[in-house]
Amino acid sequence: MLSTMGRVPLTLTHFLDRAGQLFGNVEIVSRMPDKSLHRTNYAAFHRRARQLAQALQHAGLKAGDRVATLMWNHYAHFEAYFGVIASGGVLHTLNLRLAPDEIAWIANHARDRFLIVDDVLLPLLAKFRDQVAFERVIVVSLTGAPVAAPDTDYEAFLASAPHNPTWTYPDMHEDDAVAMCYTSGTTGRPKGVTYSHRSQVLHSLAQCLPDAIGISGRDVILPVVPMFHANAWGVPYSAAMLGIKMVFPGPHLHPDDLLPLFESEQVTISCGVPTIWLGMVQILDARAGRYRFSPQLRLTVGGSAVPEALIRGFAKHGIEVIQGWGMTETSPLATIAKVKQTQGDVDDDVRFATHASQGYPIPLVDLRIVADDGVQPWDGQAVGEIQVRGPWITAAYHEVPVAEESFTADGWLRTGDVAAVTPDGFVRITDRTKDLIKSGGEWISSVDLENAIMGHPAVAEAAVVAVPHPKWAERPLAVVVAKAGQTVTADALRAHLAPLFAKWAIPDAFAFVDAIPRTSTGKFLKTKLRDQYRDWDWDAAARGDATPPIAA
């Protein structure tokens, strides 16, 4: 028997129209390069996104054409998120933190036709413009400076749209591509992930569930995560769907800039990588009582494992930290770390430990753990690679043959993360496959060591990598940044780790540095650390030097 339900396509243009029709007076706030605040609302957003769509069509855009953006988080980027889609095009957010040559390679691989760029990023564009073939460059003048020929001013481009009040969206199928992002490319070339209307509609609905992130129309959202990183974790789509007040930080991402914005706009939810929040909690500790935040303020964190010490640190200030796990390929949310109703009432220790896990799968995401001997049980002990599938999880890369190392024959995404899952479904990632340390035949988790080291009160950040060892093949080396004004020694860290790890798992070597190199998305750049320390002088380490010289 067939259903009698109507077959209405799941498209993001529904979110665009809903925002304009139901939430026209709700504010959209952007911090500009000069730190002034630009204020608009959803009524203007709806009108201008539709103007952008018509202007793109008038300029020759065809269905499926890629429109690139090179932009910070602000109102015009939000308009592009929906205007490009409404035109029938595919939004391709370029990562402005990559090297110019890499940005050019990605733009060429995606075959981007048009580019929308902030005027403050024109110097970056100039470094690779002769390597790409954008047919048209549209410049958003955030500073108010005139746009030089031959580029097109964004406002003039919007005004070029034919005045047609009866204009309708082109025919769209829910499986049509709407956006694409490229992976960070830490191993090999970046790979393009293409998202559909359907995938992003379902992802938005799922992440707003109370037992997921729990986003509501009464929230005020500030996405610290860049809009060029995994669609800003889907927040722009969810915000338009619910008509939520949006607060964009522009290029100002230092905690000293974010904290006053949290206070003045009474932000209730923000999302970003752990490195952002590590710096912020240190400022809050130093300036206790300085800020008056919304009592509903909570922080969503992803991108890398969150130390339990960070979660406890924010709890002292009445701020909840919600960890999610995912990747560009999963849109990105796949799991959420919240206490389940089946756990009943729990004390703080259990609650914080739960929040420090990677959480359990959100609805519509299937997850399994696979090792060499097959699918592993959810018993909290068996370890293997996380594999996932679901309606917003990619099954292929843009113009890359489906490869065994990325996808299984039965259609699961191989994430490269190694984990165990408890009987209650909570994921505990032990490492990336490429970051595990095998020492004397034993596996050591760099993630577990990092989180434990960052639990020391004098440590700000720590990254652990494998370095070659003449006897044990590999040994863990910890690269440590101390908190401002504090000192920490290798002996103090070994004593801190001793109750938590077997002796053979504790690093023999510690390097104390001012900063740890990062990827464009804020993760520790372990490839660079491994290269930097691969010739570690173990003889000097044996003599007790905390940071022995690297051998020639």
| 504 has catalytic annotation | no
- Cross-strand partners of 550: 536
Looking at residue 113, its amino acid is R
Contacts of 188 by beta carbon, 8 Å cutoff, 6+ apart = none
Interatomic CA distance for residues 32 and 81, integer angstroms: 19
Catalytic, out of 143, 433, 443, 504: 443
Neighbours of 149 (CB within 10 A): 6
Q: At what angle do helices 308-315 and 274-286 cross, to 10 degrees?
A: 40
Chain-centroid distance, C-alpha 304: 9
Per-residue CA distances from 44 to 20, 103, 138, 236, 336 (Å): 8, 31, 20, 16, 34
Structure tokens at 140: 């958003």
Asked if 431 and 418 touch (Cβ cutoff 8 Å), the reply is: yes
Catalytic, out of 62, 127, 434, 438: 438
Neighbours of 514 (CB within 10 A): 6
Task: Identify the CA nearest to 260 among candidates 514, 31, 9, 545.
Answer: 31
Alpha-carbon torsion, ordered 534, 481, 258, 270, to 10 deg: 70
Task: Identify the CA nearest to 142 among candidates 48, 69, 245, 251.
Answer: 251
| 472 has catalytic annotation | no
Per-residue CA distances from 383 to 201, 304, 326, 441 (Å): 33, 19, 18, 16
| Rg (the chain; Cα; Å) | 24
Interatomic CA distance for residues 261 and 250, integer angstroms: 11
Interatomic CA distance for residues 372 and 499, integer angstroms: 31
Task: Identify the CA nearest to 452 among candidates 442, 444, 462.
Answer: 462
For residue 351, count CB atoms less than 10 angstroms from its CB and return exposed for 0-12, middle for 13-18, buried for 19 or more. middle
| 72 has catalytic annotation | no
Looking at residue 475, its amino acid is R
DSSP E strand boundaries for 356-422: 360-361, 366-371, 374-375, 384-389, 413-421
Cis peptide leading into residue 33 (ω within 30°): no
Cis peptide leading into residue 332 (ω within 30°): yes
Strands 413-421 and 384-389: antiparallel
Interatomic CA distance for residues 373 and 108, integer angstroms: 41
Neighbours of 432 (CB within 10 A): 19
Catalytic, out of 308, 329, 450, 461: 329
Catalytic, out of 183, 194, 330, 354: 183
| 412 has catalytic annotation | no
| DSSP codes of every residue in 67-98 | EEEE--BSHHHHHHHHHHHHTT-EEEE--TTS
SS3 114: strand
Catalytic residues: 183, 329, 438, 443
